[in-house]
C-alpha cells in the first residue's frame, strides 16, 4: 500500500462533515464548534507526525548499506550521528506533546466557563429513555416531558444530569461533548446552540439490552417559538373531542397503561414510563424509534417487545377497538 493510499482516508476526515444531525464534525453548538477546531488541529498535527515517521522508516529501509563483515561493528561516528538524530526526534516529540497538552487545556477552560445559565433542565437517564424536567420561576410552571428537549437558540442552557438506574451518557455531538449520568452523582453540562435545528443525541454509555435504541432530540428554536412551546407543555392534556379519542382516553385510564404513564389533567399518574401529556406533539416515540403517527403509536402499543426487544413496556392485551382508539387519543395529545 502506498503512502498516499494510506493517507487518503485521513485527509478525507475534514471533508466528511456533511453528515447531518449527530456528528462531531457538523457542529452547531458553542462547545461543539470549539471542539471541532481542536479535533482538526490535533488530527492535522498527528497526521504530519505520522507522515514524518513513515518517511524516516522508508529512508531507513531504503538506505544502501555499506557492506560490513560482522553484525557487531558499529562505526562510532555513525553511532554518534544516530544518537543525535534520535535525541532530536525525541525532543520534537516532547515539544509536540506539550503543545497539544496546552491546546487541550485551553479548550477545556473555554468549555468550563460557558456557564452563566438562565435555563435549567433536568435530564434523567432510564433504561431506555430520557425523562426531561423543566423548571419555571414558580413550581407550578414546572413540567415534565420525555425524549425531546427544546432549547432557545443563543442562550446557555444548564443540563442537570442524573442516572436513575444504571449509568447512561448524555451526548448530542452536534452541540457539545458527552457527560455521564451516574446514579448517586449528579453532573452538569452547559450547552449553547448557535443555530436553530433538530439535533439527535444518543446514550453513549452501555446501559443494557436497548442501549442502541436510546436516542433523543434537542430542538433548538428561536426564543418566541421556545416560549410558545414551553407554555403549551405547561398546560395539562387537552380533553379529547372526537368520539374515537374519547373512547381511547377511557380505555387508557381503565387499562394498565395509567399505572406506568402520566397524562396531566387525567387520573393517569404513573412515573415508571415516559410522561405522555403531550406525546402527540413530540417528533418521535420509543426514544427515537419511530416518527410519531397514529400508526406508529398503534404498532408500538400492539407489540413493544418485537419493536424494541427487552424494553420495560409489557405487551398489554387489547381489543382491536381499544388499540385503535388509544392510539387516536395519544396522537391527539398535542
Partner 1 sequence: MSENVARSDTRDTELGRPLVGAALEDTWATPSGFWGALSTVDHKIIGRRYILTAFVFLAMGGVLAMLIRLQLARPEARLLSPDRYNQIFTMHGANMMFLFAVPVMEAMAVYLVPLMVGTRNIAFPRLNAFSYWIYLAGGLLLWIAFALDMGPDVGWFAYVPLSGPQYAAGKRADIWAQMITFTELSALAVAVELVVTIFKQRAPGMTLDRIPLFVWSMLVTAFLVIMAMPAIMVASTSLILDRLVGTHFFNPAEGGDVLLWQHLFWFFGHPEVYIIFLPAVGMVSTLISTFARRPVFGYLALVMALIATGILSFGLWVHHMFVTGLPRLGESFFTASSMAIGIPAGVQIFCWIATLWDGKPVYKTPLLFIIGFIVTFVIGGLTGVMVASVPFDTQVHDTYFVVAHFHYVLVGGAVFPLIGAIYYWFPKITGRMMSERIGRWVFWLIFIGFNLTFFPMHILGLQGMPRRIYTYQPDMPWSGLNLFASASAVILAAGFLLFFVDAFRSARYGPPSGPNPWDAPTLEWATSSPPPSYNFARIPVVFGASPLWEQNETLAVADGLRVDRRELVVTSLVAAKPQAREASPRNSIWPLLAAISTSVMLIWSIFSPWAVVWGSIPIAIALIGWFWPKGVPEDEA
Closer CB to partner 1, residue 207 or residue 251? 207
Nearest distance, CB of residue 9 and partner 1, angstroms? 5
β-pairing, 156-163 vs 119-126, is: parallel
For residue 188, the cross-strand partners are: 160
Expressed in angstroms, the distance from the first to the final Cα of the chain is: 58
Least separation in angstroms between residue 90's CB and partner 1 is: 6
Query: What span, in angstroms and rounded, lies between the C-alpha atoms of 161 and 127?
Result: 15
Q: With respect to partner 1, which residue has the nearer C-beta, 127 or 277?
A: 127
The helices-and-strands tally (H runs, E runs) of the chain is 9, 12
Grid cell 493517507 in the structure block, residue: 7
DSSP code of 182?
Answer: B
What distance in Å separates the CA atoms of residue 61 and residue 53, rounded to the nearest whole number?
Answer: 12
Nearer to partner 1, 4 or 59 (CB): 59
Element spanning 121, H or E: strand 119-126
Smallest gap, in angstroms, from Cβ of residue 66 to partner 1? 9
Backbone angles phi, psi at 93, to 5 degrees: -60, -45
How far apart are CB 124 and partner 1 at their closest, in Å?
14
Q: Kindly state the smallest distance separating residue 318's Cβ from partner 1, in Å.
A: 25
For partner 1, which is the closer residue by CB, 250 or 312? 312
Q: Which is nearer to partner 1, 136 or 309 (CB)?
A: 309
Nearest approach in angstroms of CB 200 to partner 1 is 8
In terms of CB distance, is 90 or 232 closer to partner 1? 90
- Nearest Cα residue to 175 out of 206, 154, 145: 154
Amino acid at each position: 500500500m502506498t503512502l498516499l493510499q494510506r493517507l487518503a482516508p485521513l485527509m478525507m476526515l475534514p471533508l466528511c462533515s456533511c453528515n447531518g444531525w449527530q456528528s462531531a464534525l457538523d457542529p452547531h453548538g458553542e462547545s461543539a464548534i470549539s471542539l471541532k477546531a481542536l479535533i482538526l488541529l490535533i488530527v492535522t498535527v498527528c497526521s504530519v507526525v505520522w507522515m514524518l515517521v513513515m518517511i524516516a522508516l522508508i529512508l531507513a529501509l531504503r538506505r544502501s548499506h555499506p557492506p560490513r563483515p560482522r553484525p557487531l561493528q558499529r562505526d562510532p561516528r555513525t553511532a554518534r550521528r544516530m544518537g543525535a538524530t534520535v535525541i532530536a526526534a525525541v525532543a520534537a516529540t516532547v515539544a509536540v506533546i506539550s503543545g497539544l497538552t496546552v491546546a487541550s487545556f485551553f479548550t477545556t477552560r473555554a468549555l468550563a466557563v460557558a456557564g452563566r445559565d438562565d435555563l435549567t433542565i433536568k435530564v434523567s437517564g432510564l433504561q431506555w429513555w430520557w425523562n426531561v424536567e423543566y423548571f419555571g420561576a414558580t413550581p407550578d410552571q414546572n413540567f415534565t416531558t420525555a425524549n425531546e428537549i427544546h432549547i432557545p437558540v443563543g442562550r446557555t442552557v444548564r443540563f442537570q444530569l442524573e442516572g436513575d438506574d444504571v449509568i447512561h451518557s448524555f451526548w448530542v455531538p452536534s452541540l457539545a461533548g458527552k457527560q455521564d449520568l451516574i446514579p448517586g452523582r449528579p453532573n452538569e453540562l452547559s450547552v449553547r446552540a448557535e443555530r436553530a435545528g433538530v439535533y439527535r443525541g444518543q446514550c453513549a454509555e452501555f446501559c443494557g439490552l436497548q442501549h442502541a435504541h436510546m436516542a433523543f432530540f434537542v430542538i433548538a428554536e428561536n426564543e418566541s417559538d421556545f416560549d410558545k412551546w414551553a407554555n403549551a407543555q405547561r398546560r395539562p392534556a387537552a380533553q379529547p373531542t372526537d368520539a374515537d379519542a374519547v373512547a381511547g382516553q377511557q380505555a387508557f385510564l381503565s387499562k394498565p397503561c395509567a399505572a406506568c404513564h402520566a397524562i396531566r389533567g387525567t387520573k393517569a399518574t404513573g412515573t415508571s414510563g415516559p410522561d405522555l401529556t403531550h406525546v402527540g406533539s413530540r417528533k418521535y416515540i420509543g426514544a427515537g424509534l419511530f416518527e410519531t403517527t397514529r400508526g406508529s403509536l398503534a404498532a408500538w402499543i400492539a407489540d413493544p417487545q418485537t419493536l424494541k426487544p427487552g424494553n420495560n413496556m409489557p405487551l398489554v392485551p387489547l381489543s382491536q377497538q381499544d388499540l385503535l382508539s388509544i392510539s387516536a387519543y395519544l396522537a391527539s395529545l398535542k
